[in-house]
Chain A
Amino acid sequence: MQEEKEKYRRLAALLEKYHGKAGELINVLHKAQLIFGYLPQKVQICVADALGVPISEVYGVVTFYSLFNTEPRGKYRISVCLGTACYVKGAGSIMEALKENLKVDEGGTTKDGLFTLESARCVGACGLAPVVTINGNVHGRMTADDIPELLERYRKEAKE
């Protein structure tokens, strides 16, 4: 609860700087998402009020862009690159292996809240294809066989 309050305090401080600046909506949403990890309805309302934008428009923007989330994400965000270079080098089978291991579908979060599985559109590290990123850390030249060990490393890290 205390933590939640602190987050809203940080949001208020952020919104102060952008009061009435409708053109900064995307920028503000990026920053708000950094604070909360996602954009719940309440946060969207706060942003709408501060910037002087209708709430419908804020919701419209949040749902238009794929980087904004309205649901909480796992501690580790796994992103499988499905860009062309990774695809022709077998990214599809890596995605399948992850789905099987984590027992979630694309876009889903594991029950323990540890992992969220997503797909990405080209990280631009095509030389390392196929690529998986976990919280922004790139793991290159992956095979489906590497998946269990990789996940185990993160599970262990989370325990510590």
Chain B
Amino acid sequence: MKYQRVHLLLCHGTACVSAGSEKIDEAIKEELKKYSLEEEVRLVPTGCFGFCAMGPVMLVYPEGVMYCRVKPEDIEEIVCEHLLKGRIVERLLYKEPDGKERVAELSDIEFFRHQRREVLHNCGQINPEDIGEYIARDGYFALAEVLMKRSPQEVIDIITKSGLRGRGGGGFPTGRKWSYAKQATGEIKYVICNGDEGDPGAFMDRSVMEGDPHAILEGMSIAGYAIGSSQGYIYVRAEYPIAVERLEHAIGEARKTGLLGKDIFGSGFDFDIELRLGAGAFVCGEETALLHSLAGRRGEPRPRPPFPAVDGLFHRPTLINNVETLANVPRIILNGAEWFAGIGTEKSKGTKVFALAGKINNTGLIEVPMGTSLRTIIYDIGGGIPKGREFKAAQIGGPSGGCLPKEYLDTPLDYDSLIELGAMMGSGGLIVMDESDCMVDIARFFLEFTQDESCGKCTPCRVGTKRMLEILERITQGEGEEGDIDLLKSLAEDIKGSSLCGLGQTAPNPVLSTLRFFEDEYIAHIRDKRCPAGVCSSLLRFEIIPEKCTACTVCARVCPVDAISGTPRKPPFVIHQDICIKCGACQAKCPFGAIAKV
């Protein structure tokens, strides 16, 4: 192997690819060729660094310098200045939102300093399409250890002792799930990895599948050994093409090297994995629906019990774990149950990956110990709210979760504290909202989602969510009535109590949680016909402030429905409310700030 003095790590996660990593890749290859550096410099396409807001991101080792928002045009400068002359290209370094100083090294950046990357320790560090790089970072050592030294029961004991809980939403103890599957009688058993990450605004699992696919394969193999299964399936959303490609590649490589297949490590243990694609149905993340979809049928849930551990795929005992849960497994085996149990809070152990998005400066993928406060996540890691606006709420857990207002910024986040507050860990989507977001509208948005995704099998979910959505639509259109709030609450309780699966049982959560913390906003919509955040267009009026208007005619010209009239140079102009469609174009274009939203 040749000595390579520089490693260039370029992020190839979905967000960075979308922002143009592939073109940068080509540009680098071209420049390296031009300066005959191909032998000295190694280009490593990696998975997600997590710092999606700054993408495409490039890391230069050995220095560990990070360049942000790199464009193909920047490559020549990076090669000439940094690689040839050893001078850092200052203008591409990261700049903290508050300070003027640019920061070169990853570990000095606030975004990374407060994180603890365990599940993501390989994401952004290795080439996910090279099994050698995974092995070089202790990959498959955990599988070797359990096959050589541990009995299946010992493996389950380690996982139980570690306190690992399911990362897909419910937080069921993983060790207990494994022992149920082990105890189930049957010659053939299956291990399924649930990669149907459907929450809008959540992309944790996708990043792990894209950035560290072998960790999932290894976790599944260990689970297979523990419960006595020799066949695994990974169920992935078809909307994640890059994840599908990398997993396929990883399975191929693992088979070729004998880490999947017959007689792994000469231990007599057989295990193989196949990939199955979803076809765009949110409900398939529910485990019984997923089983139906895996078998090629409509993804409709069924009542439990029997639980999949007893009667699962093709009526065989089946263990279903989430991507992040499985990716934790090799680390626990290698570092020990005590190590894992030492991270986090009393009842929620380890770390949690969150997808940080919405009104926040540093959008991206982060990992923190369980029990970290929202304040740390939003202000220290996330860099606060853009445009100096004020934090209003954080939505956690997607369509099944709820909103946390600013009074709870210091609550330690774990499974139990979130349930107490009427939210839920969910898979870990965290959307930040500021003063310009209307909470009634957000509740309507989520209900629209669950109503659209309801599979229609059980009545409370199919009809109940529809009725709730209708009420919310009425309220946001200014036609809310006294009593609507009570009606919403009672419908919500009925749907929660009588729906067949998790989708319906949690569908009312976004409404209940916004009602709990922001009831005054509902009342403002219903009683005063006013949207305090200025979002619900039916409750808005645009008006011209006569003192500021100069009659420049700009507003009248941009208005798409000719709702503004007046005589040039004779202020003020007037907006005719009966014609106005409240598009806001006039306000956006007025050079004098003379149009107000009331």
A interface list, Cβ under 8 A from B: 22-27, 29-30, 57, 60-61, 64-68, 82-85, 87-89, 96, 120-129, 131, 136, 138, 140
Contact = CB atoms under 8 A, between A and B. Distances in A.
A96 to B, nearest CB: 8
A61 B53 CA distance: 38
B245 interface: no
B201 A83 contact: yes
A124 B358 CA distance: 12
16 contacts: A23-B295, A23-B296, A25-B297, A27-B276, A29-B279, A30-B277, A30-B279, A65-B280, A67-B238, A121-B200, A121-B239, A122-B199, A122-B200, A124-B240, A125-B15, A126-B357
A127 B431 CA distance: 12
Contacts of B198: 121-122
A83 B200 contact: yes
B441 to A, nearest CB: 9
Nearest to A81: B200
Give the interface size bracket for B toward A: 35 or more
Contact of A64 (B276, B298, B363): B298
Nearest to A61: B298
- Which of A25, A30, A67, A140 has most chain B Cβ within 10 Å? A67
Contacts of B363: 85, 126-127, 129
Contacts of A127: 15, 19, 52-53, 55, 357, 363-364
Contacts of A26: 276-279, 293, 296
Contact of A24 (B239, B296, B357, B358): B296
A125 to B, nearest CB: 5
- Which of B55, B238, B279, B433 has most chain A Cβ within 10 Å? B279
A140 B18 contact: yes
B566 interface: no
Contacts of A65: 278-281, 299
- Which of A29, A68, A83 has most chain B Cβ within 10 Å? A83
A120 B298 CA distance: 20
B163 to A, nearest CB: 29
Contacts of B296: 22-27, 61
A85 B276 contact: no
B18 A84 contact: no
Contact of B52 (A57, A68, A125): A125
Contact of B358 (A25, A27, A89, A138): A89
A126 B279 contact: no
B449 interface: yes
Contacts of A23: 295-296
A64 B301 CA distance: 13
- Which of B282, B431, B437 has most chain A Cβ within 10 Å? B431
